[in-house]
């Protein structure tokens, strides 16, 4: 069978599948599931074009990895064919553990377990099925391989994952502020002392990359309407789980049922194989099928939340630099109790507060290092003459207050 396929990608043009192993991994049901998980969760309710998938993104990151390896080899870095395949597999599978609606429901499906943990578990399972061919890829993915720069290409502050999702998310949302010069950045990559560095002449492309990341967070990922939709979905799952654990009859798909109708500890998920097998069949369609059915449920809270999500009648979200006024929250809560005839505890489905954070660059967390012309290496914030970058290195924390508009507009 011919496994040397090409895929037509709207962002990069033609993407080649480089080896038989990578073709077989893409064909595997675990990976095909990513076709049915949107990259940006509920963002399409703000930017209608944002319907691209985790499958799209993984292939794009794989393509950029191929360009990065080619660049480093051209600059004299010895990278074996086996290492090239392994680092390509690592980036291809880096998001394979994402659940439906990705970050929005990360803590709602299985508590205290991240998609990185699940990705690592799925890769171990695939390694058994593929007779150990993923062993090196797993060691690169988890950072235990002796050549650290390969791990940095997969997971760092300037990895192929971030470069693809900024380009891809800006393409599909139409938000041009996120467009970065990925080709130029990759051409400027090098390795010094087993660390990925960027040659000094690429410094302005890196500055633009960090600024694009910050702008995409505020304009897309943390857009207040996106937050409203994601919070509503979280509350819907919370309510449905409450009802299920109380023994109420509640529709679910078989895959969703396991995670809704019984509390699952981190230890159980990590150690009992059937949980991972069921998780590997879950995608966005399980959640949306349930939401559409729950819109007609006897529980007034669950049915209202589901109808509101389907009809895009979302929470109003106030984003502020200071904590919200507690008096205003108390008034909204009282209005919810009166309007919906519910308890104060249940009013938290309609009025609640939270915080959001934006880190464009985290010094100390896999720093972006610049290789200066004199051979020295500096962190981007020290190498750049752009004072804005120091500001980008600070964590911005904002407060959000979510409530239904009808509680203030009589």
Distance in angstroms (rounded) separating the CA atoms of residues 294 and 244: 12
Asked if pLDDT for residue 410 goes beyond 60, the answer is no
Task: Give the other-Cβ count within 10 Å of 159's Cβ.
Answer: 21
Q: Are 380 and 305 in contact (CB under 8 A)?
A: no
pLDDT at 106 (0 to 100) = 75
Average pLDDT over residues 259-280: 88
The overall average pLDDT reported for the chain is 93
Asked if pLDDT for residue 207 goes beyond 80, the answer is yes
8 burial via Cβ count (<10 Å: 0-12, 13-18, 19+):
exposed
Asked if pLDDT for residue 94 goes beyond 60, the answer is yes
Q: Tell me the pLDDT band of 387, cut-offs 50, 70 and 90.
A: low
pLDDT at 393 (0 to 100) = 74
User: Which two structure tokens, joined as six digits, stand for 81?
Assistant: 């064919």
pTM to 2 decimals? 0.94
> Would the CA dihedral through 58, 63, 68, 73 be positive or negative?
positive
For 336-344, which contacts have Cβ atoms below 8 Å and span 24 or more sequence positions?
336/403, 336/404, 336/407, 339/406, 339/407, 340/300, 340/301, 340/304, 342/300, 342/301
The better pLDDT of the pair 384, 369 is held by 369
First to last CA, the chain: 66
Average pLDDT over residues 193-206: 94
pLDDT at 364 (0 to 100) = 66
Distance in angstroms (rounded) separating the CA atoms of residues 199 and 183: 14
Distance in angstroms (rounded) separating the CA atoms of residues 409 and 195: 56
pLDDT at 115 (0 to 100) = 87
Q: pLDDT tens across 259-269, in order?
A: 888 778 888 88
CA angle 55, 90, 112 (to 5 degrees): 80
Q: What order do you get walking across the sheet with 195-199 strand by strand?
A: 189-192, 195-199, 369-371, 377-379
Q: Tell me the pLDDT band of 409, cut-offs 50, 70 and 90.
A: low
Q: Residue 121: which of 137, 108, 138, 136 has the closest Cα?
A: 138
pLDDT at 365 (0 to 100) = 65
Q: pLDDT tens across 156-181, in order?
A: 999 999 999 999 999 999 999 999 99
pLDDT at 383 (0 to 100) = 85
Average pLDDT over residues 50-63: 97
Element at 96 (helix H, strand E)? none
Q: pLDDT tens across 304-329, in order?
A: 999 999 999 999 999 999 999 999 99
Q: Tell me the pLDDT band of 2, cut-offs 50, 70 and 90.
A: confident
Distance in angstroms (rounded) separating the CA atoms of residues 397 and 400: 10
Q: pLDDT tens across 227-243, in order?
A: 999 999 999 999 999 99
Tokens 């599948």 belong to residue: 17
Query: Which of helix, strand or coil describes residue 313?
Result: coil
Q: Output DSSP code: residue 26.
A: H
Asked if pLDDT for residue 255 goes beyond 80, the answer is yes
Instruction: Give me the percent of the chain exceeding a pLDDT of 90.
Output: 79
Sketch out the chain's domains with CATH numbers: 6-222 (1.10.3210.10), 224-357+400-407 (1.20.1250.30)
Q: Are 100 and 74 in contact (CB under 8 A)?
A: no
Q: Residue 352: which of 224, 242, 219, 232 has the closest Cα?
A: 232
What DSSP line would sit under 370-409, residue for residue? EE-TTS-EEEHHHH---THHHHHTSPEEEEEEEE-GGGT-
- What is the Cα Rg of the chain in Å? 23
Distance in angstroms (rounded) separating the CA atoms of residues 35 and 37: 6
Q: Output DSSP code: residue 368.
A: -
Per the document, the length of the chain is: 410
């Amino acid at each position: 069978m011919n496994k040397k396929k090409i895929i037509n990608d709207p962002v990069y043009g033609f993407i080649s599948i480089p080896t038989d192993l990578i073709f077989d991994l893409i064909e595997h049901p675990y990976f095909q599931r990513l076709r049915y998980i949107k990259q940006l969760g509920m963002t399409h309710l703000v930017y209608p074009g944002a319907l691209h998938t985790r499958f799209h993104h993984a292939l794009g990151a794989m393509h950029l990895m191929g360009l990065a390896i080619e660049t480093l080899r051209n600059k004299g870095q010895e990278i074996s064919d086996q290492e090239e395949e392994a680092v390509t597999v690592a980036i291809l599978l880096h998001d394979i553990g994402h659940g439906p609606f990705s970050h929005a429901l990360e803590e709602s499906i299985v508590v205290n377990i991240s998609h990185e943990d699940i990705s690592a578990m799925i890769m171990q399972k695939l390694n058994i099925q593929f007779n150990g061919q993923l062993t090196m890829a797993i060691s690169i993915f988890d950072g235990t391989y002796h050549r650290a720069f390969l791990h940095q290409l997969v997971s760092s502050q300037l990895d192929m994952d971030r470069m693809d999702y900024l380009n891809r998310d800006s393409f599909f949302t139409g938000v041009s502020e996120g467009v970065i010069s990925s080709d130029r950045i990759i051409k400027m990559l090098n390795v010094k002392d087993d660390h990925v560095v960027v040659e000094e002449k690429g410094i302005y492309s890196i500055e633009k990359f960090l600024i694009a990341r910050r702008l995409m967070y505020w304009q897309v990922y943390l857009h207040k309407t996106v937050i409203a939709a994601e919070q509503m979905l979280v509350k819907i799952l919370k309510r449905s789980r409450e009802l299920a654990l109380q023994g109420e009859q509640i529709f679910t798909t078989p895959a969703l049922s396991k995670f809704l109708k019984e509390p699952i500890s981190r230890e159980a998920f990590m150690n009992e194989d059937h949980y991972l097998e069921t998780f590997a069949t879950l995608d966005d369609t399980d959640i949306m099928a349930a939401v559409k059915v729950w819109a007609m449920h006897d529980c007034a809270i669950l049915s209202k939340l589901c109808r509101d999500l389907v009809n895009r009648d979302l929470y109003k979200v106030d984003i502020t630099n200071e904590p919200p006024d507690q008096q205003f929250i108390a008034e909204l809560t009282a209005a919810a109790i009166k309007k919906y005839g519910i308890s104060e505890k249940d009013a938290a489905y309609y009025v609640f507060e939270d915080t959001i954070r934006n880190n464009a660059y985290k010094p100390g967390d896999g720093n972006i290092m610049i290789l200066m012309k004199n051979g020295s290496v500096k962190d981007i914030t020290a190498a750049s003459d752009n004072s804005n970058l120091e500001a980008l290195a600070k964590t911005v924390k904002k407060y959000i207050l979510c409530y239904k508009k009808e509680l203030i507009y009589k």
